[in-house]
Amino acid sequence: MVEYGALPAVRITAADGAQATVALFGAHLLSWKTADGKERMFVSAHTALDGSKPIRGGVPVIFPQFNLRGPGPKHGFARESTWRLTGSGGDGGQSFLQFSLAQDDLAPAAAASWPHAFALELRFILSGDVLEIDFKVHNTGTQDLPLAAALHTYYDVGHLDATSVSGLQHARYTDHHLNTLTQETPALHFTEKQDRLYQAPASVTLNTADATLRLEQQGYTEWVVWNPGADDARAMADLGDDEYLRFICIEPARVDQQPLAAGAAWIGRHRICAN
């Protein structure tokens, strides 16, 4: 165990030196360093790191609701719940950490907002310059569970000016004005606020001044791409006025709550490859 701010966290180091740090609060990935020592995650210098609020940065785990698309707390309660470390180890160059959360683990307010029994497993697998995050949701109840899920990943991009996302040309998306459009350009650049929901291909590429990351997903239905831009950033208490220039979020997501049958399991896989 290590301390990250005031949060207990677990750190793993792979054979080649790649490293990941995950807080029990939210099973929240706070840092991912590839074997070259380069930090790939952005965490705001203004975020709470004491469990009193969700963390602004890293990988917030979104469950069972995306944003305000449901009756519960914004982006769900998983990012504000304390998970259990249920596995760790490694072999053959891979290292992993596994966290679990079930209905009995919830704080009273979250439990009161959610009448469905469930069991979550989140597994981080590190090897070389690849991070995989497998997210399993098991409906342990006797009725359908309305399921939305996402990994709200904040990438450290150095500077927004040199950043783009490719692989989305011709994809349909909904923007923050709720217009549904088709992306014409080969790459998305960030000259203003972006909050887009893509019905999109299985992989996209994040290009920054000094890195290329290939992002793949299976089991999810959308990619959400978000940067708040200058005005929204100024209005956020847990983000510095200029910090929006340092990150973008690219999120594998199952945005709308869709029923997961009693006894059934859903698995979302996300693979991030840096080179």
Please choose, from the candidates 81, 84, 99, 6, the residue with its C-alpha nearest in 3D space to the C-alpha of residue 47.
6
Q: How far is the CB of 176 from ligand TA6 (least distance, A)?
A: 7
Tokens found for residue 190: 């960030």
SS3 for 26-46, per residue?
CCEEEEEECCCCCECECECCC
Closest residue to ligand TA6, based on beta-carbon distance:
226
Question: Residue 26 corresponds to which tokens in the numbers above?
Answer: 């939210």
Cβ proximity to ligand TA6, 68 vs 181, nearer residue: 68
Shortest Å distance, C-beta 133 to ligand TA6: 16
**Between the CA atoms of 23, 28, 34 and 38, what dihedral angle is there, to the nearest 10 degrees?**
-90
Cα separation, 245 vs 222, whole angstroms: 24
Q: How far is the CB of 37 from ligand TA6 (least distance, A)?
A: 28
Q: Please identify which of the residues 152, 222, 243, 270 carries the catalytic annotation.
A: 152
152 is catalytic: yes
Closest distance between ligand TA6 and the C-beta of residue 267, in Å? 21
| Residue closer to ligand TA6, measured from CB, 40 or 75 | 75
Task: Between 99 and 226, name the residue whose CB sits nearer to ligand TA6.
Answer: 226
Number of C-alpha atoms within 13 angstroms, CB side, residue 70? 25
Q: Quick one: 122 or 224, whose CB is closer to ligand TA6?
A: 224
What is the contact surface with ligand TA6 in residues (CB under 6 A)? Answer: 54, 67, 74-75, 152, 195, 224, 226, 249, 251
Q: Which of 121, 138, 251, 270 is catalytic?
A: 251
For ligand TA6, the closer of residues 132 and 238 by Cβ is 238
Phi then psi for 246, rounded to 5 degrees? -110, -5
3-state DSSP assignment of residue 9:
strand
The whole-angstrom separation of Cα 275 and Cα 267 is 26
Is 176 catalytic? The answer is no
How does DSSP assign 120-143, residue by residue? EEEEEEEETTEEEEEEEEEE-SSS
Residue 54 beta carbon to ligand TA6: minimum distance, rounded to whole angstroms = 6
Residue numbers annotated as active site: 152, 251
